[in-house]
């Protein structure tokens, strides 16, 4: 009989390659990318031969750029010995220039060519960490300066990481895809959704498909509803310029929330392979019932709101409309709650509720699966409505883990029943592991696209949300689809319960 395996952990360092980060003087690079690269280096997961080039318009020497990285690492709480940091920094170069100047790309090519001398088939990763309006420019020059062209067999590899937003509607997303498609093959494009890099999101796949107890009950017969929440306590911070034009539906739903929903509800893929998983996710997105194009029907299924003044962690916080850079009469939503129908055999009759918002009572992202009531109670005068429903809650952040609520005999009198929780916390295993960007950067260097979004998912998500945006953006529909107000630090707008219709459901409390 084969021995069972307690745990299988496989991770290998990628082959030699270089990473060029466009937008290296920006916020994302300092907060996420530098710390992620350094942590990979600490874990011995960067290639043995590795070059990291930062590119930005800011004029600075490579030395000044290295100092900037050091400062970013300190800010991220990394305090490695100086010698170790210096070793990491010895692989770092900086190029400053204009995004539309061929000269700048020639400078990059000189550094890359020098690094690649004598290295067998070094790969190249170009990370677009710039505002999206620069993507097309960068692509054109990468192509004309021959930095990104790949042979038919993809050896040596050339890949591009694209940060969200992937367009702002179906049309602009298609335009971006068209531009990417002129220069690159699909296998070279890595569209990042950092939620997919979180350990607990990957755990959805393990939980569903590495256990025999869940999949048989993962359907409409046993599951009454699924609630997906991504609540934040932060407001829009210094991102008013971006957020005012974007709003929460584009910022969180088009990508993170729909990706989460598809992982929870998709059919089992035939293997743990990027394309097989992405096929199933796309199929699921295709099964989501389109939102109504009639404004008054729409308002029963999706609710938008904006935060007002309030109190959070003991301090007063301004209303969204009072934030720097936000128009006084802004119609941008900072909260969305919606009900989705999955139109297939597995899920017909199961309710999917999804909500996300800023400046809410607590920072928490979770997927809560509520099982149906027992069909018949054998317990005397307790009927099935008196007995709590089982619940499986996957907490994505901040206390990563999952718990199962079950009814059990409590100690004491003969008939003493109550809910108990079987709880698993990642912190018991020494923490949730790698940061999302570490995971995604290494996967990209290894050529594993499982946790990246494929073109069809982008298209399907926009196709689903475009009609909603069209209705919301027309001021004539404000009456039928108002922007409700909620107090900062609260559970969200009371009107969010509209999506439950006549069902007796309610949103799970953020703060208990």
Applying CB under 6 A, the residues found at the interface with ligand BG6 are 194, 232, 251, 365
Between CA 425 and CA 210 the distance in angstroms is 18
Between CA 40 and CA 52 the distance in angstroms is 13
Nearer to ligand BG6, 199 or 251 (CB): 251
Cβ–Cβ < 8 Å for 269, 398: no
Nearer to ligand BG6, 251 or 491 (CB): 251
What DSSP character marks residue 29? Answer: I
All residues at 6 or more sequence positions from 240 whose CB lies less than 8 Å from its CB, including other chains: 323, 324, 325, 326
Q: How many residues does the chain have?
A: 512
Q: Nearest distance from residue 194's CB to ligand BG6, in Å?
A: 6
Nearer to ligand BG6, 70 or 451 (CB): 451
Q: Nearest distance from residue 180's CB to ligand BG6, in Å?
A: 20
Tell me the residue nearest to ligand BG6 as measured from the CB: 251
Locus of tokens 């996710």: 281
Cβ–Cβ < 8 Å for 18, 110: no
**Whose CA is closest to 17, among 51, 53, 55?**
51
DSSP helix/strand/coil, 363: coil
Q: Is 341 annotated as catalytic?
A: no
Give the pairing of strands 223-231 and 351-357: parallel
Q: Nearest distance from residue 424's CB to ligand BG6, in Å?
A: 21
Nearer to ligand BG6, 13 or 204 (CB): 204
Task: Take residue 312 and report the two structure tokens written for it.
Answer: 């959070």
Nearer to ligand BG6, 194 or 439 (CB): 194
Catalytic one of 4, 238, 256, 341: 256
Cβ–Cβ < 8 Å for 367, 203: no
Between CA 410 and CA 388 the distance in angstroms is 14
Q: Nearest distance from residue 250's CB to ligand BG6, in Å?
A: 9
- Active-site annotation, residues: 256
């Amino acid at each position: 009989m084969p021995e069972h395996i307690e745990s299988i952990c496989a991770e290998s360092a990628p082959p030699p390659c270089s990473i060029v980060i466009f937008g290296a003087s920006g916020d994302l690079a300092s907060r996420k990318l530098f710390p992620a690269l350094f942590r990979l280096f600490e874990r011995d997961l960067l290639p043995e031969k590795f070059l990291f080039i930062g590119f930005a318009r800011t004029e600075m020497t490579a030395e000044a750029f290295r100092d900037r990285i050091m400062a970013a690492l300190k800010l991220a709480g990394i305090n490695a010995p100086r010698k170790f940091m210096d070793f990491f920094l010895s692989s770092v170069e900086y190029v400053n220039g204009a995004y539309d100047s061929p000269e700048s790309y020639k400078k990059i090519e000189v550094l890359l060519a020098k690094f690649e001398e004598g290295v067998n088939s070094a790969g190249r990763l170009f990370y677009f960490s710039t505002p999206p309006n620069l993507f097309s420019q960068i692509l054109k020059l990468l192509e004309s300066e021959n930095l990104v062209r790949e042979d038919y067999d993809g050896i040596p590899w050339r890949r591009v990481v694209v940060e969200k937003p992937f367009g702002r509607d179906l049309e602009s997303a298609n335009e971006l895809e068209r531009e990417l498609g002129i220069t690159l093959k699909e296998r070279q494009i890595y569209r990042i959704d950092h939620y997919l890099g979180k350990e607990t999101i990957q755990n959805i796949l393990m939980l569903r498909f590495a256990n025999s107890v869940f999949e048989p009950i993962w359907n409409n017969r046993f599951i009454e509803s699924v609630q997906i929440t991504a609540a934040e306590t932060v407001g829009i911070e210094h991102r008013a310029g971006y957020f005012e034009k974007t709003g929460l539906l584009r910022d969180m739903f088009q990508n993170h929330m729909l990706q989460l929903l598809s992982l929870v509800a998709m059919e089992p893929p035939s293997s743990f392979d990027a394309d097989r998983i992405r096929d199933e996710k796309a199929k699921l997105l295709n099964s989501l019932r389109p939102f109504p194009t009639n404004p008054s029907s729409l308002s029963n299924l999706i609710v938008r709101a904006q935060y007002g003044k309030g109190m959070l962690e003991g301090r007063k916080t301004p209303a969204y409309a009072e934030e720097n850079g936000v128009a006084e009469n802004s119609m941008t939503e900072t909260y969305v709650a919606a009900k989705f129908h999955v139109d297939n055999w597995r899920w017909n009759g199961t309710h999917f509720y999804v909500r996300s918002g800023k400046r809410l009572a607590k920072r928490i992202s979770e997927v809560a699966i509520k099982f149906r009531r027992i069909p018949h109670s054998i317990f005397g005068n307790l009927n099935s409505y008196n007995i709590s429903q089982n619940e499986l809650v996957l907490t994505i952040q901040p206390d990563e883990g999952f718990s199962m609520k079950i009814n059990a005999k409590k100690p004491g009198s003969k008939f003493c029943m109550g809910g108990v929780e079987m709880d698993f916390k990642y912190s018991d295993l020494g923490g949730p592991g790698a940061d999302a960007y570490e995971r995604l950067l290494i996967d990209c260097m290894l050529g594993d696209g499982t946790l990246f979004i494929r073109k069809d998912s982008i298209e399907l998500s926009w196709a689903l949300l475009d009609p909603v945006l069209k209705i919301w953006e027309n001021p004539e529909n404000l009456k039928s689809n108002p922007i409700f107000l909620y107090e900062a630090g609260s559970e969200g707008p009371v009107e969010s319960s509209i999506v439950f219709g006549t069902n007796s459901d309610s949103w799970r409390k953020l703060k208990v």
